[in-house]
Amino acid sequence: MKGRNLHSWQVSVAEAKEIQRVLAAQVVRRNELEAPRLIAGMDISREDNRGMARGAVVVLRFPELVLVEQSVVTLRISFPYVPGLLSFRETPLILAACERLTVPPDLIIADAQGIAHPRRLGLASHLGLLLDVPAIGCAKSILCGRHGDLGEEPGAYAPLRDGDEVIGAALRTKRGVSPVYVSIGHRVDLEAAIHWVIACLRGYRLPEPTRLAHLAAAGQLPALARTEEGQQGRFSI
């Protein structure tokens, strides 16, 4: 599964911001997804003291959410940390992992922002455009925008607004824990994005695709797979 060559990765901070502005206009915000059979989760590990990090992609069969394939690569991060430009640090790792997949997913859920981003192009939207696959951002924190109160029951949500624009939703996925922040990535609308994140919940804060991608990036997914015979639930995120 190879990404499209939409731009160079050897760019300055100013050039990266301009690329985001240009690509944001290409994000499709209408729903083009009906019944995905394969859903991918994507995440990367923390950068180590050598500047290396692991990019992980897992593919699950839906609705069973059974792991079909995982791909993990370790590469050096070359782009500096700049708030709002996370995709220029992390996307090359994710794309390298995607290139090793043998089963292309119908939907991507990334532990990242979609259009809930100051320039409306977070990592999930960037990946959706590069791979030309429907994509959803499901982040653990807010990058921009505000929301009102939401209920404690799983499935409750409140619009995430930046000024007058709705850019996503704060979604309760588990009672007693902080919400996640769902936004359009590419080729889905917000209603569909919320629907598919809820459909992928299995009692944790994170939807199963990104939860397993997080474990894969941390080198823990093989141990989790072995617990399926009777010790499922050893890891909790």
One digit per residue, the tens of pLDDT, for the chain of length 237 reads 888 999 999 999 999 999 999 999 999 999 999 899 999 999 999 888 888 999 999 999 999 999 999 999 999 998 999 999 999 999 999 999 999 999 999 999 999 999 999 999 999 999 999 999 999 999 999 999 999 999 999 999 999 999 999 999 999 999 999 999 999 999 999 999 999 999 999 999 999 999 999 999 998 876 444 333 333 333 333
pLDDT attached to residue 68 = 94
CA distance 172 to 141: 13
In a domain, 69, yes or no: yes
pLDDT attached to residue 95 = 95
Beta strands in the chain (DSSP E): 38-44, 52-61, 66-76, 107-110, 135-139, 146-147, 157-162, 165-171, 180-186
In a domain, 175, yes or no: no
In a domain, 3, yes or no: no
CA distance 180 to 161: 15
Question: Whole domain around residue 123: which residue ranges?
Answer: 13-147+180-228
The total number of structural domains that make up the chain: 1
pLDDT attached to residue 222 = 67
Q: What is the CATH classification number for the domain harbouring 92?
A: 3.30.2170.10
pLDDT attached to residue 38 = 98
In a domain, 157, yes or no: no
In a domain, 56, yes or no: yes
In a domain, 87, yes or no: yes
CA distance 162 to 183: 12
